[in-house]
């Protein structure tokens, strides 16, 4: 999809968040800075809500909002972390540092910097259900030390994965799955801002197909507008098959099969970051794409289903989606029939 994504160009302001209870809690955090746990299912707008909070709270949100996605650290090698443009300034000259210490150092240094405007800055930890307990303990200590100048916002779909000392230091903000009517309201507003033609049936079809995933609904509406010229029932129905990304997913499976795991992982990351998928949703899409293609035999499909069954159990535990899906692709590439064979934790270098 060419051009900027609507989920970015039409990110809501705090006043535009449709869920009144969540909006009121976030508004309170503007007037009275506090640590937050923003919790809810994938795709419901947790990150967008936190960014809206930061724009409202900070005169210079580009400087005083620091976003750290847990996937930026866990499941990546030391080299990948050290060469990431966002972190290399923190880690210059620290080549002998262990990965755990690298992560703690980036967090500590991010929290130590004085805010550019106002009296505090905001650090967001996204996908926090994947944070290991030892890192959570380090996070707790940083929260205690920097509580006067740093607001911590932890976004997660599974707050139960957080240790009690962190939960006790944060006010919970629940962001539920939006209703179909709320999604219709958002999509209609964006279409009008974009001067895109639409009809009620088309917008309702897009909203209903999203299944409570606001991000997916917005991306579907944008794809429909680009491919069909308008968000109508006919255009949305014809376009929804494209939004499934079947060709892209089949290419990733083929790349993994050919031993090109780096390319397969890059595609997987793009689908998770920009395609509106959570781990289990992408796993289901992989199976649909493999079944719809003609490249795989019955034995291949049976093996992929066996691997997917194991991966689904791990994904249900709420650990790192990227790690388990990458592990599935590696097992698929190696011709294994189960994920546990030859399993190793991600390398540190």
The whole-number pLDDT of residue 344 equals 39
Is pLDDT larger for residue 280 or for residue 23? 23
List pLDDT tens digits, range 217-263.
998 899 899 989 999 988 887 777 655 577 788 888 888 888 888 88
- In the 3-class helix/strand/coil scheme, how is the chain assigned residue by residue? CCCCCHHHHCCCCHHHCCCHHHHHHHHHHHHCCCCEEEECCCCCCHHHHHHHHHHHHCCCHHHHEEEEEHHHCCCCCHHHHHCCCCCHHHHCCCCCCCHHHHHHHHHHHHHHCCCCCCCCEEEEEECHHHCCHHHHHHHHHHHHHCCCCEEEEEEECCHHHCCHHHHCCCEEEECCCCCHHHHHHHHHHHHHHCCCCECHHHHHHHHHHCCCCHHHHHHHHHHHHHHHCCECHHHHHHHHHHHCCHHHHHHHHHHHHCCCHHHHHHHHHHHHHHCCCCHHHHHHHHHHHHHHCCCCCHHHHHHHHHHHHHHHHHHHCCCCHHHHHHHHHHHHHHCCCCCCCCCCCCCCC
Is a pLDDT exceeding 80 seen at residue 142?
A: yes
Q: Which sign does the torsion angle of CA 246, 251, 255, 261 carry?
A: negative
**Residue 2 pLDDT > 70, yes or no?**
no
More confident residue, 294 or 61: 61
Q: How many CA atoms lie within 13 A of 68 on its CB side?
A: 27
Band of pLDDT at residue 151, cut at 50, 70 and 90: very high
Q: Do domains 19-174 and 180-243 have the same CATH topology?
A: no
Rounded-to-integer distance, Cα 191 and Cα 231, Å: 8
19-174, CATH topology level: Rossmann fold (3.40.50)
pLDDT recorded at residue 133: 84
Q: What span, in angstroms and rounded, lies between the C-alpha atoms of 29 and 61? A: 15
Question: What does pTM read for this prediction?
Answer: 0.68
Q: Report the pLDDT value the prediction gives residue 242, as an integer from 0 to 100.
A: 52
> In whole angstroms, what is the distance from residue 275 CA to residue 286 CA?
13
The pLDDT value recorded for residue 293 is 61
Supply the CATH classification number for the domain 246-334.
Answer: 1.20.272.10
The pLDDT of residue 346:
41
Q: What is the pLDDT of residues 16-39, one digit of tens each?
A: 998 999 999 999 998 788 999 999
What are the Cα distances from residue 58, in Å, to 52, 54, 336?
10, 6, 51
Task: Please state, in angstroms and rounded to a whole number, the distance separating the CA atoms of residues 243 and 213.
Answer: 14
pLDDT of 343? 40
Question: What is residue 92's predicted lDDT score, i.e. its pLDDT?
Answer: 84
Among residues 221, 199, 201, 200, the alpha carbon closest in space to that of 210 is found at 221
Pairing of strands 36-39, 65-69: unpaired
Residue 345 is predicted with a pLDDT of 40
Among 1-10, 149-158, 275-284, the range with the most confident prediction by mean pLDDT is 149-158
What CATH architecture applies to the domain 180-243? Orthogonal Bundle (1.10)
Task: Work out the average pLDDT over 121-134.
Answer: 86
**Structure confidence by residue, pLDDT tens digits, 160-192:** 999 999 999 999 999 999 999 999 999 999 999
Residue 179 or residue 292, greater confidence: 179
Residue 182: what pLDDT?
93
Q: Which of the two residues, 100 and 9, has the higher pLDDT score?
A: 9
Give per-residue pLDDT as tens, 298-345. 778 888 888 888 888 777 766 678 888 888 888 888 776 666 544 434
Mean pLDDT is lowest, of 9-13, 34-38, 179-183, 289-293, for 289-293
Give residue 40's pLDDT: 92
Q: Is 336 left (phi over 0), alpha (psi -120 to 50) or beta?
A: beta
Residue 349 binned pLDDT confidence (cut-offs 50, 70, 90): very low
Indicate the average pLDDT of the chain. Answer: 85
Which of these ranges, 1-5, 264-268, 327-331, has the smallest mean pLDDT? 1-5
Query: CA-CA distance, 66 to 101, in Å (whole number)?
Result: 19
Mean pLDDT for the stretch of residues 70-99: 80
CA distances from 144 to 50, 54, 106, 127, 274 (A): 21, 21, 17, 21, 34
Domain boundaries, the chain: 19-174, 180-243, 246-334
């Amino acid at each position: 999809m060419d051009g900027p994504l609507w989920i970015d160009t039409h990110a809501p302001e705090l006043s535009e968040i449709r869920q009144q209870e969540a909006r009121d809690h976030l508004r309170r955090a503007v007037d009275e800075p506090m640590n937050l746990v923003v919790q809810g299912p994938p795709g419901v707008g947790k990150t967008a809500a936190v960014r809206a909070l930061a724009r409202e709270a900070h005169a210079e949100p580009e400087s005083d909002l620091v976003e750290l996605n847990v996937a930026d650290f866990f499941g990546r090698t030391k080299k990948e972390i050290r060469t990431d443009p966002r972190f290399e300034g923190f880690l210059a000259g620290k080549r002998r540092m262990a990965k755990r210490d690298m992560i703690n150092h980036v967090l500590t240094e991010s929290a130590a910097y004085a805010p550019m405007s106002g009296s505090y800055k905001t650090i967001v930890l996204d996908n926090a259900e994947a944070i290991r307990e030892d890192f959570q303990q380090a996070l707790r200590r940083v929260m205690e030390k920097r509580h006067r100048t740093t607001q911590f916002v932890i976004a997660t779909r599974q707050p139960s994965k957080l240790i009690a000392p962190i939960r006790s230091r944060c006010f919970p903000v629940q962001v539920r799955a939006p209703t179909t009517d709320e999604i219709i309201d958002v999509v209609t507003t964006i279409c009008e801002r974009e001067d895109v033609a639409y009809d009620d049936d088309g917008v309702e079809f897009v909203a209903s197909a999203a299944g409570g995933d606001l991000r997916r609904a917005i991306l579907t509406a944008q794809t429909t507008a680009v491919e069909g010229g308008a968000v109508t029932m006919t255009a949305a129905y014809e376009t929804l098959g494209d939004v499934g990304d079947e060709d892209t997913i089949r290419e990733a499976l083929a790349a993994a099969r050919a031993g090109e795991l780096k390319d397969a992982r890059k595609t997987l990351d793009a689908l998770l970051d920009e395609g509106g998928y959570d781990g289990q949703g992408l796993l289901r899409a992989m199976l649909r794409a493999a079944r719809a293609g003609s490249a795989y035999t019955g034995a291949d499909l049976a093996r992929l289903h066996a691997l997917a069954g194991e991966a689904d159990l791990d994904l249900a535990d709420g650990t790192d989606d990227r790690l388990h899906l990458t592990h599935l692709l590696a097992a698929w590439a190696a011709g294994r029939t189960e994920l546990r064979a030859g399993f190793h934790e991600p390398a540190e270098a």
